[in-house]
Amino acid sequence: MEHFGFPLEAILIFVGVVVVSVYLDLFAHRKSTEISLSDSARWTVFWIVLALAFYAYLWFRFDKKWADLYLAGYALEKSLSIDNLMVFIAIFASFGIKGGVLQHRILYYGIMGALVFRAIFVVIGTGLFQASPWVGFLFAAFVIWSAVKMLQRPKHEAEIEDYSDHWSVRLTRRVLPVYPKLHRDRFFIRHSQIPGNETDEAQNTSNAVKKGALYATPAFLCLMAIETSDVAFAFDSVPAIIAVTQEPLLVYAAMIFAILGLRSLYFVLAALTKYLVHLEKAVIGLLFYIGAKMALQSWNHAIADTGFHIPPGWSLSIVLGTLVAGVLASFIFPAKK
């Protein structure tokens, strides 16, 4: 069986683009100013164009087949990320974090963590799949289970869940003393920085706080909720993309290019979320398709070849077509007021 492998040239270009992109993103938003919707929209377009440029590179430098697998994985991860961002909106609301600057800062560190966790999950996931084709049935069941969970999820669940009592937040409170108020854009605040009339209030979570000790602020608790939620999202997205392609470099590239634009996309999505009412249905449909595709592929390799194989171009068309249909349906059949 032909494999894309790890061409040194592709690795160097991919790593170089990621490093430069992260630097640019940090440099471009280094000033503490509010993030405008127009600025977020421009950056969102930039990240999408960058991802498509890598698609063009794979097509012309290697083969259209590999390029299509990458793009299908990218589109799937982007659509799953949109659903995840809905949860991030609820997390910020739970902690009363409304300022664009602080949200942007928290998302930046959250995405840095996502880059690391995704790499670990991709290595483990692709390694397991290559070790035995039977693992594909487990991945297929996991993807379909994720679709069923989304299908059974109550409407507007993200708006009613209180993430300030998330298990990661409770764990952090047991480990660190917590200052109950936001302090500019800080994740931590020293004891000496707390106003005198608020010292007792801040100290009520710990009986052994010494002068000069650090307190976690609600911004850090919010970051913990986002990081742990993103790890849970990875359990959904990694098997789904591995169902599209088992090439580790293509899987990771698809995920990273989708993740890089999440910060900017968040602010665009926050403004558009009430309009994209049917996009989640499209994502659910895609997960059912991806799960069935993975099961078919595993059957062909582990049991008997059915003679039916889904070409990369078909997967790309189905993924993009379903997402476009979900967006169009949202505008043609909007939610009732």
**Contact partners, residue 31, CB within 8 Å, separation at least 6:** none
Assigned domain for 185 exists: no
Assigned domain for 231 exists: no
In 29-176, where does DSSP find H-type helix?
A: 37-61, 64-94, 100-131, 135-152, 157-160, 167-175
Global pTM value: 0.74
pLDDT at 273: 66
Assigned domain for 198 exists: no
Domain total in the chain = 1
Q: Over 50: is that where the pLDDT of 212 sits?
A: no
Q: What percentage of the chain carries pLDDT values higher than 70?
A: 80
Assigned domain for 163 exists: no
Band (pLDDT 50/70/90 cuts) for residue 25 is low
Q: Over 60: is that where the pLDDT of 208 sits?
A: no
Q: What's the average model confidence in pLDDT over 55-69?
A: 88
CA atoms within 13 A on the CB side of 222: 31
Domain that holds residue 109: 8-157+236-332
Instruction: Tell me how far apart the alpha carbons of residues 161 and 142 are, in angstroms, rounded to a whole number.
Output: 24
Assigned domain for 192 exists: no
Instruction: Tell me how far apart the alpha carbons of residues 262 and 227 are, in angstroms, rounded to a whole number.
Output: 14
Instruction: Tell me how far apart the alpha carbons of residues 256 and 111 are, in angstroms, rounded to a whole number.
Output: 10
176 vs 200, more confident: 176
Give the 3-state secondary structure of 227-260.
HHHHHHHHHHHHHHHHHHCCCHHHHHHHHHHHHH
Q: Which of 65-74, 266-275, 309-318 has the highest mean pLDDT?
A: 65-74
Residue 138 tokens, joined? 């487990």
Assigned domain for 86 exists: yes
pLDDT tens digits, residue range 154-179?
Answer: 655 444 466 777 888 888 888 888 87
Q: Over 90: is that where the pLDDT of 56 sits?
A: yes
Which residues partner with 215 through β-bridges? 189
Assigned domain for 80 exists: yes
Assigned domain for 199 exists: no
